C-alpha cells in the first residue's frame, strides 16, 4: 500500500516494516541536531497515523538515507510492541551515507534516453546519479527506490 501525505510517499511493506520517502524540496532533515531529527520523525509518524488511522506505535529502528538529488528515505522496522499499550512511539535512528541508490522501472520508455542502465528480471535499473533531477520528480510514481549498502 502506498499513500501520499503532502510530499511524502508512504509504503507499507508488512505489519512491522514501512518506508517513507520525503522530497527534499518540501522537507530536509538536519542530522546535526539529533533531538530535532527525532522530533521531526515523530511528527511525521503522528501525521500518517492520524490521516490514515494506522496504528503506528512501538519501538522502531529507523534507517535514514539522504540522497542529495532525490530526498530522504526513511525505512522503519518495528522492534518491540511494548509501547502499544501506552500508545507511544520510540525511535532508534541510524543514518546511512555513501550508499548506492538505484531506481527500478518497469517501463523502458521512461529511461530510454539514458545510456547507463541495467536490465534484470524484466525491470530496468538506473543509478540515481545517472538520472536528471527533473526526471526523478516527473517519474516518481513510476519507480521503486532500491538501496544497496556500499
Kindly indicate the confidence band of residue 99, based on its pLDDT and cuts at 50, 70 and 90: low
Distance, CA of 88 to CA of 63 (rounded, Å): 19
Distance, CA of 65 to CA of 145 (rounded, Å): 11
Distance, CA of 36 to CA of 138 (rounded, Å): 30
Of residues 21 and 86, the one with the higher pLDDT is: 21
pLDDT at 26 over 70: no
pLDDT at 6 over 60: no
pTM assigned to the model: 0.71
Q: Which of 7-16, 25-34, 131-140 bottoms out in mean pLDDT, i.e. has the lowest?
A: 25-34
Q: What pLDDT does residue 39 have? A: 83
pLDDT at 71 over 90: no
Q: Which of 1-10, 81-90, 99-108, 126-135 bottoms out in mean pLDDT, i.e. has the lowest?
A: 1-10
Amino acid at each position: 500500500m502506498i499513500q501520499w501525505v503532502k510530499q511524502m510517499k508512504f509504503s507499507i511493506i508488512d505489519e512491522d516494516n514501512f518506508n517513507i520517502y520525503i522530497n527534499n524540496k518540501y522537507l530536509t532533515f538536519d542530522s546535526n541536531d539529533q533531538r530535532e531529527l527525532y522530533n521531526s520523525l515523530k511528527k511525521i509518524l503522528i501525521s500518517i497515523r492520524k490521516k490514515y488511522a494506522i496504528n503506528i506505535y512501538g519501538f522502531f529502528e529507523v534507517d535514514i538515507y539522504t540522497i542529495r538529488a532525490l530526498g530522504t528515505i526513511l525505512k522503519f522496522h518495528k522492534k518491540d510492541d511494548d509501547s502499544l499499550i501506552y500508545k507511544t512511539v520510540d525511535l532508534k535512528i541510524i543514518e546511512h551515507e555513501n550508499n548506492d541508490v538505484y531506481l527500478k522501472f518497469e517501463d523502458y520508455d521512461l529511461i530510454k534516453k539514458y545510456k547507463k542502465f541495467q536490465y534484470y528480471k524484466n525491470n530496468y535499473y538506473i543509478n540515481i546519479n545517472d538520472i536528471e533531477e527533473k526526471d526523478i520528480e516527473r517519474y516518481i510514481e513510476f519507480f521503486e527506490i532500491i538501496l544497496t549498502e556500499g
